[in-house]
């Protein structure tokens, strides 16, 4: 009987560990990109880092904690890049990153929806970002397209040549 109790405790401990084991953590690949476009300007942010935990079978444990380096902006025009980082637009010295932190992830008919906080230019807004996840031989790819209004985040002057609604497309390859 004394040998059965320790074996039982080991077995219970193993099941408890499996029940509370973290969901699938993914490593963000280097070939990620965040493109943006609106009337008057388009480009890409080249540096995205963060933590992604995602298991299609256990969405309650999903975590998207993503940061985009504002200084990695590339519009294809050096002077425009410098201007975008400056005080009239992103103020990258004061606000060096754009961050998204999910609060919940849910399944939709076309993929998934991550709801959380989007922080840009010192302003935080709750956003719901649609995305898909496609597995491949090396891991997978998260992709999403959504829009933000730059005036909601006080980026640039209201009006002007650059449109308010910015279309953003995110592609993030991941591996285990």
Tens-digit pLDDT profile for residues 34-55: 999 998 899 999 999 999 999 9
CA distances from 144 to 36, 69, 81 (A): 12, 18, 24
d(CA 168, CA 38): 9
CA triple 111-46-39, angle to 5 deg: 75
Chain-centroid distance, C-alpha 35: 13
pLDDT at 166: 95
CA distances from 31 to 37, 45, 145 (A): 19, 12, 17
Q: Which of 119, 112, 118, 120 is nearest to 143 (CA)?
A: 112
CA distances from 59 to 52, 53, 88 (A): 12, 9, 40
Strand, coil or helix: 78: helix
Question: How confident is the model over 58-96, as pLDDT tens digits?
Answer: 999 999 999 999 999 999 999 999 999 999 999 999 999
108: tokens are 């939709």
DSSP state of 151: G
Whether the predicted pLDDT of 27 surpasses 60: yes
Question: How confident is the model over 109-145, as pLDDT tens digits?
Answer: 999 999 999 999 999 999 999 999 999 999 999 999 9
């Amino acid at each position: 009987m004394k040998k059965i109790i320790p074996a039982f405790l080991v077995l219970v401990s193993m099941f408890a560990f499996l029940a509370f084991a973290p969901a699938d953590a993914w490593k963000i690949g280097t070939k990620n990109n965040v493109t943006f476009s609106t009337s008057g300007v388009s480009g890409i942010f080249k540096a995205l880092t963060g933590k992604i935990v995602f298991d299609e079978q256990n969405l309650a444990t999903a975590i998207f904690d993503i940061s985009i380096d504002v200084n990695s902006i590339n519009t294809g025009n050096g002077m425009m890049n410098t201007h975008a980082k400056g005080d009239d637009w992103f103020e990258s010295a004061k606000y060096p990153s754009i961050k998204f932190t999910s609060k919940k992830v849910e399944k939709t008919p076309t993929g998934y929806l991550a709801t959380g906080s989007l922080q840009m230019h010192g302003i935080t807004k709750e956003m719901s970002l649609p995305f898909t996840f496609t597995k491949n031989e090396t891991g997978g790819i998260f992709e999403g397209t959504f829009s933000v209004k730059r005036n909601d985040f006080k980026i640039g002057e209201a009006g002007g040549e650059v449109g308010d609604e910015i279309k953003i497309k995110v592609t993030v390859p991941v591996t285990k």
